[in-house]
């Protein structure tokens, strides 16, 4: 029956927790010639999704359900209007391949918890590690990443891959390794054009690793406008901010107009909580913080 369905005006389609065959899924997508947003969330009955659409602007995929892999491969063969590709959960499908998406601007959430392969044109990213960088991807401006241990080296490699990145969303779970950069990356600093304007990072706990990570951007990102650091509610105290102002060297920041906001971890949603209507947002990772925050400028 699905193969006979035709919705010429349908723009948003969300498939959540349903069982559907691969042929029927593709027939349903083909039956929506004006489709702009497609969400495939914890569906089963198929192992591969191939996207050929001249209208799609946003795609969201959740490929895991608990420990069960229910979607092994996503291949975006031709999507000339695609602007947003969102991957949900702590792990993506085993292989995601983008062959042609010349307008892709928003990508995430790439995760260090995944060992799966993400191929963007000729660039290969394994988890968060850039395995093969033969050509930079200049269209991507918004990126979301989830890493177990905070790593400046990983983020720098991703910035090399996406040199026009303007917004970066980071979720770090554990204290990172040493994020020393003054000697290690001194030659890089001279050559890398950091175009980041917004950094949103949780959770900042104030360790030396955290401080070194934050100061790299505060002291080197010349067009930075806003860095938002989420802290645990128990740390949201005046003495905490007083100590951080000195350690973060705000008087030496590279961007005179950069603002630093601390906010509590009490907020709704996360960088990987979406519904189909979010796929139509210019920046689906952007979150409003309704709770108190502490600002430096």
pLDDT tens string, the chain, 297 residues long: the values are 666 789 999 999 999 988 889 999 999 999 999 999 999 988 888 889 999 999 999 999 886 655 555 678 899 999 999 999 998 764 445 788 999 999 999 998 888 877 678 899 989 998 888 987 878 999 999 999 988 889 999 999 999 999 999 999 999 877 777 887 877 777 777 778 899 999 999 888 888 899 999 999 999 999 999 999 888 776 667 776 777 677 888 888 999 999 998 888 655 455 556 778 888 888 988 876 555 556 665
Exposure class string for 220-235: b at 16+ Cβ within 10 A, else e: bbeebebbbbbbeeeb
Looking only at the bridges linking them, the beta strands covering 84-87 and 58-62 are parallel
Q: Report DSSP state, residue 19.
A: B
Backbone angles phi, psi at 68, to 5 degrees: -95, 125
Say if residues 293 and 260 touch (Cβ distance below 8 Å). Answer: no
Burial class (CB in 10 A: 0-12, 13-18, 19+), 94: middle
Per-residue pLDDT, 178 = 81
Quote the CA–CA distance of 129 and 121 in Å, as a whole number.
16
Quote the CA–CA distance of 77 and 88 in Å, as a whole number.
21
Per-residue pLDDT, 217 = 94
Per-residue pLDDT, 127 = 81
Contact residues for 59 (Cβ-Cβ < 8 A; gap 6+)? 37, 38, 39, 51, 76, 79, 82, 84, 85, 86, 279
pTM of the entire predicted model = 0.89
Say if residues 233 and 201 touch (Cβ distance below 8 Å). Answer: no
Q: Count the neighbouring beta carbons within 10 Å of the beta carbon of residue 48.
A: 14
Per-residue pLDDT, 92 = 47
């Amino acid at each position: 029956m699905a193969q006979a369905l035709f919705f010429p005006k349908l723009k948003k389609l969300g498939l959540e927790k349903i069982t559907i065959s691969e042929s029927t899924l593709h027939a349903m997508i083909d039956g929506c010639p004006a489709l702009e947003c497609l969400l495939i969330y914890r569906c089963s009955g198929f192992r591969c999704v191939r996207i050929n659409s001249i209208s799609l602007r946003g795609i969201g995929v959740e490929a895991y359900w608990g420990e069960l892999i229910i979607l092994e491969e996503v291949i975006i063969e031709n999507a000339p209007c695609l602007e947003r590709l969102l991957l949900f959960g702590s792990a993506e499908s085993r292989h995601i391949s983008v062959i042609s998406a010349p307008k892709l601007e928003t990508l995430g959430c790439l995760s260090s918890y995944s060992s799966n392969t993400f191929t963007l044109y000729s660039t290969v990213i394994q988890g968060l590690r850039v395995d093969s960088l033969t050509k930079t991807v200049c269209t991507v401006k918004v990126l979301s990443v989830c890493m177990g241990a905070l790593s400046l080296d990983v983020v720098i490699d991703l910035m090399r891959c996406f040199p026009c990145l303007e917004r970066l969303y980071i979720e770090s779970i554990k204290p990172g390794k040493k994020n020393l950069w003054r000697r290690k990356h001194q030659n890089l600093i001279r050559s890398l054009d950091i175009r980041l304007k917004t950094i949103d990072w949780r959770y900042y706990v104030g360790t030396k690793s955290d401080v070194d990570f934050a100061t790299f951007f505060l002291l080197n990102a010349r067009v930075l406008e806003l860095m938002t650091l989420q802290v645990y509610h128990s740390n949201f105290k005046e003495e905490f901010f007083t100590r951080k102002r000195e350690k973060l060297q705000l008087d030496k920041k590279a961007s005179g107009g950069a603002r630093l906001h601390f906010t509590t971890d009490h907020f709704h949603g996360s960088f990987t909580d979406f519904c189909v209507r979010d796929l139509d947002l210019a920046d689906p990772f952007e979150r409003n913080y309704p709770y108190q925050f502490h600002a430096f400028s």
